[in-house]
Structure 1
């Protein structure tokens, strides 16, 4: 495969690398070529990460504005506490309790739209398929985190380091788990062990933190 110099100038380094990859080549094979940021290349090659970056920022911002103006004082307290943790990288855990119809999902949707309007990654999951469908971009907990169907006290999620899902979880700003009390405690313990292991690759102290 040959490129003329005047043809190359119409491509970015990222695009050239992607074209070369299709032919099992890389920019690393050419000593005189500038090299793109490997971290950027890794992100672009992660389809799961790209999927979470495809939300319409303006649309999410408009949705957030509409929802936020309807929050009551108690819901605003939850909203502010969660965002404070996200923005300051505090890694806090919150348990939102309330009877059906008290607006828990409304709070979730408001937080989700806020973070997605800022290109942040939030992963909403639920313990049942029906509940997951009611969350924007929601998935079941077993589907998203590869939790074994049969979990024991020693189970871990089927997520290997360096995979697209592992890299996505490392970059995730917030996980929202709806209907959490419906799940067996072993599912949370499996995710806890998995996230501690994955996140400790970039921060050794994560292995001692709940859910990393």
Structure 2
């Protein structure tokens, strides 16, 4: 998957939205760096010892108005990644026609009703508190309800954390990251469903969503500065 989308293939409205998000991200970095702090450090601040698999902040971050939710944690070995953000939307914030996939062969109970949250995407972070990639996961990783790709994509515009806990700049940054990298995130979500379908076809009677051999359905390295410069050049700035 190409980490740099063909900007010529995007609508003027989409390019403008991405460029505005790039400006928002730049501003978030400015105010954090001015104080000598970073995104990950703010999420972990005051949380005690950083323990593998624990959610940070404790009990997650939820905007009760938009029903957007996220947490930060670590559980994967790697020289580059410090940890990652998991971004969700809860059922109360979804477009009205969104319904979890009907999957009779499920061997685990999926969350239902108001708890039927959807995992949108994860953002991988380096040890300095900057993003290095996006990825999508299988259902068992996040214990979500599974929504088809196009419904999940329709949820992306609904993700917004519009309050100051644990840090306003962090919340604004996460919201803007989904807007700046919208084409890439859409591609990852569609790839997610394609990978799951391929695995299911190879084992028709199995519950693919609980297969521990399928964890990451797709990973895409990213470069915020490179995409921002490309957008600015295309806009003639």
Q: Which has the larger helix fraction? A: 1
Question: TM-score of the superposition, structure 1-length normalised?
Answer: 0.25
Q: Comparing both chains, which one has the higher relative contact order based on Cα–Cα distances under 8 Å and sequence gaps of 6 or more?
A: 2
Question: TM-score of the superposition, structure 2-length normalised?
Answer: 0.23
Q: Which has the larger strand fraction? A: 2
| Rg comparison, structure with higher value | 1
